[in-house]
Amino acid sequence: MELLDFLKNEFGGGWKRNALIAMQNHLAEDVILIVLNKNKKICGFCMRMIDGNPMRFGPIGIAEAERNAGIGGILLELQMREMSRQGIYHMYFVTTDEPGKRYYERHGLSVFRTFIEYRRDI
């Protein structure tokens, strides 16, 4: 299936697994949005509810060749509208990097919780 191949090739097996689980549970139409490029090939993807919580947003990703054209921002806005249409008025996501944080802040989201990573070589 094109979506699963796109996810595995662009982002890795974990993303493919999340979409496959949504498909197997007959939830994909409610939780996944995709973007097609001018050649009708998938170039963008976002999903919500990967942990069973309808407010959980993510992952979201754009094909490397299509990035920095505003597609991700439009996709995020569409997913927020869709969530609101379904009566979901709060969203959260997990990001682990500074570029992700800046991306979400540009779209009006704010930090809710932070985690500090501790490590020790043993």
User: What is the predicted pLDDT for the residue at 109?
Assistant: 87
Which pTM was predicted?
0.84
pLDDT 10s digits, 17-44: 999 999 999 999 999 999 999 999 999 9
User: How is the chain split into domains, by residue range?
Assistant: 2-92
**Residues 10/100/91/46 CA torsion (nearest 10 deg):** -20
pLDDT 10s digits, 82-99: 999 999 999 988 876 777
Gap between the Cα atoms of 76 and 63, Å rounded: 15
To the question of domain 2-92 being in CATH 3.40.630.30, the answer is: yes
